[in-house]
């Protein structure tokens, strides 16, 4: 007999809706299962068996993040099947910066009202993100919180764990002046800076179907484009050349994220003319009258990842990334200095 409480339902929490949501999401979750998955949905913890073949000293690498106020776009457009990709991307793209392979993912969805069909849409996106990242969705939590969230809104966060052999953890201290920086194109705004985006467009009152000559899709769809997941491309690159460091360009843009992957005394010199700025960023800058430095300090500007390699490895690194379907190109170099980042 299924658990049920009429009193709890009267308080706004319908546990039967939770059961229905789980049944609807099962087919999406199961497509993410890899060989290490031991348990299915419904237990108190997700079980995963580590395959340590070829790994002498395993190190677990974890990452957690959410989608942020980009969710407001999903609410306004009533489109919920892509924000889960963002949630996965924000976690796994961080993990691979250490050289680790993501293994498992768990999500947390907090809702004002549990509408099973909407939960299914959200989790379908999470599952798609896991498929793109090659990791398994082994568990999660849906919390119905009436009175805390509006009935038509929710929050979404996630957590991922990966593994890397200790000897293969990327060593940012191996970098030196003359090393080359390769940029990998983003798919759009990704999942950062949306508080500013919402302010610029007055998003709650904006015409999200508005079109611009430089955009392939209407404004709302363009902004909701899910964050690109780079896991498989980066893992292939790591098998091809010696990568010295990787920067995931998220909140804080170039000025905050690139220095995180640099040793003391080394500065990243970015060739501004080389950066392939996506049209949406030109529109944001113009509509909001935002200085270019603030743009590079808030958004990815069309570059989702930056990898550092020796000058001798540039050709092979670019070939690997391009063969993986990435738009990759030289974006700058490392020089002596304490500035962290110079864009010129």
The CATH number assigned to the domain holding 281 equals: 3.90.650.10
pLDDT in tens, 17-76: 877 888 888 899 899 999 999 977 777 888 999 999 999 999 999 999 999 999 999 999
What's the distance, CA 209 to chain centroid?
Answer: 25
188 and 142 in a single domain? The answer is no
318 and 185 in a single domain? The answer is yes
Q: What is the pLDDT of residue 288?
A: 97
pLDDT mean over 301-312: 98
pLDDT in tens, 207-230: 999 999 999 999 999 999 999 999
Residue 9: pLDDT band (50, 70, 90) is confident
Closest CA to 103 of 141, 187, 46, 149: 46
291 and 159 in a single domain? The answer is no
Q: What is the pLDDT of residue 262?
A: 97
- Residues with Cβ < 8 Å from 315, sequence gap 6 or more? none
Closest CA to 222 of 73, 76, 68, 67: 73
pLDDT in tens, 174-186: 999 999 999 999 9
Q: How far is the C-alpha of 230 from the C-alpha of 168, rounded, in Å?
A: 18
Q: Which of 168, 186, 212 is the last residue of a domain?
A: 168
Give domain status of residue 105, yes or no: yes
Q: Which of 146, 168, 190 is the last residue of a domain?
A: 168
Q: What is the pLDDT of residue 22?
A: 82
> How many alpha carbons lie under 13 Å from residue 234 in its C-beta half-sphere?
34
Q: How far is the C-alpha of 28 from the C-alpha of 84, rounded, in Å?
A: 12
Q: What is the pLDDT of residue 2?
A: 63
The percent of residues in the chain predicted with pLDDT above 70, rounded, is 97
Q: What is the pLDDT of residue 186?
A: 98
Whole domain around residue 77: which residue ranges? 6-168
pLDDT mean over 147-159: 96
- 236-272 in b/e burial notation, b at 16+ Cβ within 10 A? ebbebbebbbbbbbbbbbbbbbbbebbeeebbbbbee
203: number of Cβ within 10 Å: 18
Element housing 175 (H / E): none
160 and 192 in a single domain? The answer is no
140 and 223 in a single domain? The answer is no
Q: Which of 105, 137, 168 is the last residue of a domain?
A: 168
Give domain status of residue 259, yes or no: yes
Give domain status of residue 1, yes or no: no
How many structural domains is the chain composed of?
A: 2
- Residue 1: pLDDT above 60? no
Q: How far is the C-alpha of 190 from the C-alpha of 80, rounded, in Å?
A: 15
282 and 319 in a single domain? The answer is yes
Give the three-class secondary structure for 10: helix
Closest CA to 127 of 241, 33, 246, 260: 33
Residue 8: pLDDT band (50, 70, 90) is low
In the block, tokens 């108190």 appear at 44
The percent of residues in the chain predicted with pLDDT above 90, rounded, is 90
- Residue 81: pLDDT above 80? yes
pLDDT mean over 73-89: 98
> How many alpha carbons lie under 13 Å from residue 317 in its C-beta half-sphere?
26
Q: What is the pLDDT of residue 6?
A: 74
8-state DSSP, 53: T
In the block, tokens 């958004």 appear at 299
* Token pair for 34: 């890899």
Residue 14: pLDDT band (50, 70, 90) is confident
20 and 33 in a single domain? The answer is yes
Q: What is the mean pLDDT of the chain?
A: 95
- Residue 7: pLDDT above 90? no
- Residue 127: pLDDT above 80? yes
247 and 124 in a single domain? The answer is no
């Amino acid at each position: 007999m299924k658990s049920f409480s009429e009193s709890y339902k009267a308080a706004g929490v319908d546990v039967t809706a939770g059961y229905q949501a789980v049944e609807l999401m099962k087919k999406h979750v199961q497509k993410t299962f890899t060989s290490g998955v031991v348990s299915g949905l419904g237990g108190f913890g997700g079980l995963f068996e580590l395959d340590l073949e070829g790994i002498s000293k395993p190190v677990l690498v974890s990452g957690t993040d959410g989608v942020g106020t980009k969710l407001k776009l999903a609410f306004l457009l009533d489109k919920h099947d892509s924000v889960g990709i963002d949630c996965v991307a924000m976690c796994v793209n961080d993990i691979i910066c250490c050289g680790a392979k993501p293994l498992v993912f768990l999500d947390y969805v907090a809702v004002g009202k549990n509408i099973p069909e909407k939960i299914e849409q959200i989790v379908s996106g999470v599952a798609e993100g896991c498929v793109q990242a090659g990791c398994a969705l082994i568990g999660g939590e849906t919390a119905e919180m009436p009175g805390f969230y509006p009935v038509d809104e929710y929050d979404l966060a996630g957590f991922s764990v990966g593994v890397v052999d200790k000897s293969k953890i990327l060593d940012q201290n191996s970098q030196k002046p003359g090393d080359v920086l390769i940029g990998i194109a983003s798919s759009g705004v990704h999942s950062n800076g949306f508080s500013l985006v919402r302010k610029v467009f007055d998003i709650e009152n904006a015409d999200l179907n508005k079109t611009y000559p430089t955009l392939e899709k209407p404004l709302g769809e363009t902004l909701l484009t899910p964050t690109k997941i780079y896991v498989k491309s980066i893992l292939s690159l790591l098998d091809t050349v010696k990568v010295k460091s990787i920067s995931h360009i998220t909140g804080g843009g170039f000025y905050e994220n690139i220095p995180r992957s640099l040793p003391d005394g080394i500065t990243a010199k970015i060739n501004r003319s080389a950066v392939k700025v996506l049209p949406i960023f030109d529109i944001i800058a113009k509509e909001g009258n935002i200085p270019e430095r603030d743009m590079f300090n808030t958004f990815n500007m069309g570059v989702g990842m930056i990898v550092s390699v020796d000058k001798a490895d540039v050709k092979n690194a670019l070939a690997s990334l391009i063969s993986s379907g990435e738009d990759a190109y030289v974006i700058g170099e490392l020089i002596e200095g304490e500035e962290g980042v110079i864009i010129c």
